[in-house]
Amino acid sequence: MIIRMAKVEIVGPKQDLLTTLELLHNRGIFQPDPQLLERVELADDDRLQALVLDEHDLRERSFFQDLYERVAALLKLLPETTDSISPLQPLPVMDLLDELVDQHLASASEQTRILADGHKEMEDLQHDLIFWQALEPLLADLPRDSNLELLGITIRDSQQLQALEELLQKRTQGRCHISSTTTTDGSLIGLIATDREIAGSLHQALTDERVPEMSLPEELANLPLAQRIAALHERLQSQTANCRKNETQLLEFSRRWRPTYRRALSWLEERLTLYRATATAYTTRLCFIIQGWMERAEVLRLHTDLNRAFDGRVVLEQQAILEEDLDQVPVMLRNPGYFAPFEILSRLLPLPKYSSYDPTPLIGLFFPVFFGMILGDIGYGVILLVISIFLAKHFPPQRLPSDIGKVLGVAALYTLLFGFLYGEFFGDLGEVWLGLHPLWFDRSKDILPMTIFALTVGIVHILLGITLGALSDLRRHQPRQALLKLAMLLAVLLLVLAMIGWFYPQSWLNTGPLLIGVGILMTVLIAAEGLLAPLELLKTMGNIISYIRIMAIGFSSVLLAVVANKLGGMSGDIMVGILVAGLLHAFNLLLGVFAPTVHSLRLHYVEFFSKFLDLGGRRFEPWHKRPS
């Protein structure tokens, strides 16, 4: 149901504004709406103006904003720890934090930079080590000539290696040798040996071809290979130790200060939210005024809280909701036990307006019935019931799978009920094996009675929709619209009776006077609403006919089940028969869940709700503290 809301005005001395906002923020039950004041008061009261913060407040806000940004930057640098948030009250130590945060930010930035450089160097060293270790066997094959220049390169793939080999042979007239190998991490690398005299042109050729060369720190570059690898190892170990030491220091620092800074950040966030919230307040010379919305049931409690906190200086007054406010009233839906899970279906629609209806209870009442009417099979009902119990029991309450389970459970009960009425157990299996007989209709044969039943359901549902629409108009103080809706309802009823009299003549049902009645009502409706009235009547009749889908989809479902049984029986082998029938029944069950769900919803959303539901409401979003 749509929770009743109250329009409230809170008035108090200007100096109490922030504390009032803080109290409202902590309670989390009030949604400010500055547009209310703009609409109603500003036009005829020049003294009322949007709040402009004074110099002191502006300076304080700027200080908090700046501090917030620095604390947030520091927290980004500090590693995560398992420590909880500090219970420290930040306000008394805010000046101290202001001084400390700069030192801590500088120190943490420096440590983070050193750590990042260390990690980068470690990465390079590891890469170098892999590279030179892979090249070691290739170097052993080369002659020990002091005039030899060695270049290490990384190669993209074997095609590039081949192209490079051809190019280098051409450039050096065959005075170079290239060998390649694969490193432990899978990269293809190469070693080029050439004369020192032509090494320069070779470097240029590699640059032109965008082939990356391996470079080493100067002190390592001149070492013999074996020493070079040992030096790389040593350097890597030393760098790893340095990085670990820096990480431990940073983590220690984080353990010590992160909880305090997190608490401070959370407090600053709250405070800045309050400053932002001041934009919703209006002021006179001495007072502030806030208007907004809250749950009607909470008004008294907030009134008492404000009185207690401000000794009567801040006053809350409930105001009448005017007709022009109706479209602005925020909407909150809350449904008791049975209906609550059905909100997953009503949430697929936009929110209804405040003066309209919550569709959830209506979906909760009719959706499972329609579902059961369409599927109507004891076997399928039992399977769905088991699935629904599993979903409802194995998932926490209020979660989507649990809610789906509960909705499916109710739908499964109606499937069982209609299964008994139709005498169906996996199609005609109940009749063949268990001697089940329909208590009501045999859906596979009684197409016409089933069609009439589906249409009757449609008539009742649509007429209920039109009645609810008329009531909704009355609630909106639009009696003319309500009367026109009732006239339409009467016209539909008379037309339906006339059609019954036409198809099934009865002595008490004379179609002539009924059609004259429809004609008179249509004349009135055309006079009141124009030429759209006959179209509306036609649309409503179309809506009713649309309920035939209850029969049509159910009929196809029962026929598919019968086909599954027949195909299973035709196989000649009991195991193959069970397999074939089982697969087809599983497919039918899948369709049997999907089709009734979609079509029942469609009957609600398109046919039923279009008669009375006014969508497009604003969600009620009260101020509330974010969990820290």
Partner 1 sequence: MEEVWIAFAAALAIGLPAIATAWAQSRIGAAGAGTLAEKPELTGVIIILVAIPETMVILGFVVAAMILLM
Site residues (CB under 8 A) for partner 1?
Answer: 347-349, 447-448, 451, 545-546, 548-549, 551-553, 556, 598-599, 601-602, 605-606
The residue (of 452 and 567) whose beta carbon lies closer to partner 1 is 452
Q: What is the nearest approach in angstroms of partner 1 to the Cβ of residue 346?
A: 9
- How far apart CA 121 and CA 116 sit, in angstroms, is 9
Rounded alpha-carbon distances, angstroms, from residue 121 to 126, 216, 242, 534: 9, 11, 11, 82
Using DSSP, state whether 149 is helix, strand or coil: strand
The residue (of 347 and 399) whose beta carbon lies closer to partner 1 is 347
Q: What is the nearest approach in angstroms of partner 1 to the Cβ of residue 572?
A: 31
**Residue 555 has which token pair?**
């009929």
Sequence letter at residue 12: G
Q: What is the nearest approach in angstroms of partner 1 to the Cβ of residue 338?
A: 22
The conformation of residue 606, written as its DSSP 8-state character, comes to I
Q: What is the nearest approach in angstroms of partner 1 to the Cβ of residue 604?
A: 9
The residue (of 113 and 602) whose beta carbon lies closer to partner 1 is 602
Is the Cα dihedral 182, 185, 188, 191 positive or negative?
Answer: negative
The residue (of 387 and 548) whose beta carbon lies closer to partner 1 is 548
Beta strands in 311-458 (DSSP E): 315-319, 330-331
Q: What is the nearest approach in angstroms of partner 1 to the Cβ of residue 351?
A: 11
Is the Cα dihedral 601, 607, 613, 617 positive or negative?
Answer: positive
DSSP run (H or E) holding 554: helix 549-570
Q: What is the nearest approach in angstroms of partner 1 to the Cβ of residue 445?
A: 10
- Is residue 260 within 8 Å of residue 88, measured between CB atoms? yes
The residue (of 178 and 550) whose beta carbon lies closer to partner 1 is 550
- How far apart CA 266 and CA 459 sit, in angstroms, is 58
- Is residue 205 within 8 Å of residue 150, measured between CB atoms? no
- Is residue 363 within 8 Å of residue 346, measured between CB atoms? yes
Rounded alpha-carbon distances, angstroms, from residue 442 to 322, 419, 457: 55, 10, 18
The residue (of 335 and 556) whose beta carbon lies closer to partner 1 is 556
The residue (of 478 and 556) whose beta carbon lies closer to partner 1 is 556
Contacts of 582 (CB under 8 A, 6+ apart): 568
Burial 139-167, CB ≥16 within 10 A → b, else e: beeeeeeeeebebbbebeeeebbeebbee
- Is residue 325 within 8 Å of residue 36, measured between CB atoms? yes
Q: What is the nearest approach in angstroms of partner 1 to the Cβ of residue 352?
A: 13
**Residue 304 has which token pair?**
């008492």
The residue (of 58 and 535) whose beta carbon lies closer to partner 1 is 535
The residue (of 401 and 519) whose beta carbon lies closer to partner 1 is 401
Instruction: Name the maximum alpha-carbon separation found in the chain.
Output: 124
Q: 618-619 and 148-155: which strand pairing?
A: unpaired
The conformation of residue 211, written as its DSSP 8-state character, comes to P
Q: What is the nearest approach in angstroms of partner 1 to the Cβ of residue 344?
A: 10
- How far apart CA 196 and CA 15 sit, in angstroms, is 84
**Residue 509 has which token pair?**
């049902």
The residue (of 348 and 365) whose beta carbon lies closer to partner 1 is 348
Q: What is the nearest approach in angstroms of partner 1 to the Cβ of residue 387?
A: 21
Q: What is the nearest approach in angstroms of partner 1 to the Cβ of residue 594?
A: 11
Q: What is the nearest approach in angstroms of partner 1 to the Cβ of residue 494?
A: 24
Give the distance, in angstroms, between the CA of residue 487 and the centroid of all CA atoms in the same chain. Answer: 43
Residue 192 bridge partners (DSSP):
151, 178
Of 363, 376, 355, 354, which Cα lies nearest the Cα of 558? 376
Q: What is the nearest approach in angstroms of partner 1 to the Cβ of residue 538?
A: 14
Q: What is the nearest approach in angstroms of partner 1 to the Cβ of residue 318?
A: 33
Q: 5-13 and 49-50: which strand pairing?
A: unpaired
Rounded alpha-carbon distances, angstroms, from residue 284 to 30, 119, 288: 22, 60, 6
The residue (of 289 and 601) whose beta carbon lies closer to partner 1 is 601
The residue (of 347 and 477) whose beta carbon lies closer to partner 1 is 347
**Residue 370 has which token pair?**
């329609």
Q: What is the nearest approach in angstroms of partner 1 to the Cβ of residue 606?
A: 6
Contacts of 609 (CB under 8 A, 6+ apart): 349, 359, 465
- Is residue 353 within 8 Å of residue 370, measured between CB atoms? no
The residue (of 256 and 539) whose beta carbon lies closer to partner 1 is 539
The residue (of 242 and 451) whose beta carbon lies closer to partner 1 is 451
